[in-house]
Amino acid sequence: MQFARLTVVFRMRPAGISAADPSVGRLTHVVCALWLAGVAMRMTILAMPPVIPLVHDELKMSETQVGLLIGLPLALFALAAVPGSLLIARIGASRAVVLGMVIAALASASRGGAIDVTTLYAASIATGFGVAIMQPGMPTLVRAWLPGRVGLGTVAYTSGMLMGATSAPSLTIPYVLPLVGGSWRLDLAVWGLPAILLAPLFYFFSPAADEHAANGIAGGGRWWPDWRNPLVWILGIGLGSNNATYFSTNAFLGEYLASQGTPGLLGPALAWLNGFQVVALFILVPLANRMQRKAWPFLIFGPILFASFLVLIFLPSRLGIISAAALIGFGTAITLTATLALPALLSLPADVPRTAAGMFTISYTLAIIIPTISGALWDSTAKPWTVWLPICLSTVVMTALGIAATRYRPATVAPSP
């Protein structure tokens, strides 16, 4: 259904696109490649939250350690973003993405063999490293493969991210865990299989003839982020607030529901949280080109996200929890897509990889700090609801900076050396 809706968008040629615009057949291949890469960027990471209560019990983890379990891969997203930009400049965006897919899949499956918290952390770090290599490559490929349809390209890989984020949380508890006898170790190994298969599929659908275009965008030696550029910080902190909101919800929802005496709601809540990210595609796909540099996604969904966490705190009934989870999934999907399109829209082609790398470095630094603060706040106060306070603040910051970024003027000349 997603590809069918995307095909409709292919035929809606926006003003300013020339007759040389890619054919529907080529667009289909490009969208498939971007979508598959998006799936790989989230499926391995989000295979962990559904089994966190099982891991917590077996390895006797504290809430702070649970926060770190989700935060460490995100830390690698930050630490490896700039090396990922350098790798793109050296071997090309497509090859860097394939390499990242393989590393993430193998490392994700190896988490099932962890013998203690330390080895689990090590495997999680390796998983994050693989995904981190991929991330600066995606805006680069969008700019190279679909220069006239940046919004569509961003929606293509973002929809894959949403599907990857939805599949593991939605299918693990009702289907995969019963299939493997309730073993969280075998569950993680099972999710590694489709993850490794994504790499050859991405290679098959990638438009090989355009690899030189992606290399050209990443060339010129400009791979180190321009930390003096305010845009890098606006995008980085805004995206970091969005990521912290989504990943923290996935990390702490199970423990929070257990503290409320409703652990049985975890499966439905995660399904609604991540499933409504896919529902968001019904807005994202037809409005792909109309969301470019628009403030309305942040003006509307930022306050909705803030209100959703207030519901979790003050109305933790079944209806309140399910409704809040659905709105959090929906709102983070819309604002994520609107933010991810901005590096390609606001930067010069040659600066896209390094702008994206700077954005991811800052954003995922925040994405590990905020969940860790949330977990430590719970541990220190022994009040479960306090875990959501830093997340509420994140939604406010995301709204303000998202609006600011949409009003930023696109770069039109190369920076002085």
**Residue ranges covered by each domain of the chain:** 25-406
d(CA 370, CA 132): 19
Closest CA to 173 of 267, 86, 103: 267
3-state secondary structure of 312: helix
CA angle at 264 for the pair 311 and 333, rounded to the nearest 5°: 50
Structure tokens at 61: 């983890």
The CA R_g of the chain, rounded to the nearest whole Å, is 20
Contact 382, 259 (CB under 8 A): no
Residues whose CB is less than 8 angstroms from the CB of residue 232 and which lie 6 or more positions away in sequence, other chains included: 225, 226, 355, 358, 359, 362
- What pLDDT is recorded for position 399? 96
pTM, to two decimals: 0.75
- What pLDDT is recorded for position 8? 43
Contact 312, 320 (CB under 8 A): yes
Residues whose CB is less than 8 angstroms from the CB of residue 320 and which lie 6 or more positions away in sequence, other chains included: 311, 312
- What pLDDT is recorded for position 211? 53
- What pLDDT is recorded for position 411? 62
- What pLDDT is recorded for position 21? 54
- What pLDDT is recorded for position 247? 82
pLDDT along the chain (417 residues), means of 10: 45 38 77 93 87 88 78 78 84 89 94 91 91 88 85 87 82 91 94 93 79 50 82 94 89 88 86 84 78 88 96 92 94 92 84 87 86 89 94 96 88 50
CATH superfamily of domain region 25-406: MFS general substrate transporter like domains (1.20.1250.20)
d(CA 86, CA 147): 22
- What pLDDT is recorded for position 221? 55
Closest CA to 119 of 39, 198, 188: 188
Contact 85, 354 (CB under 8 A): yes
- What pLDDT is recorded for position 166? 78
Contact 343, 215 (CB under 8 A): no
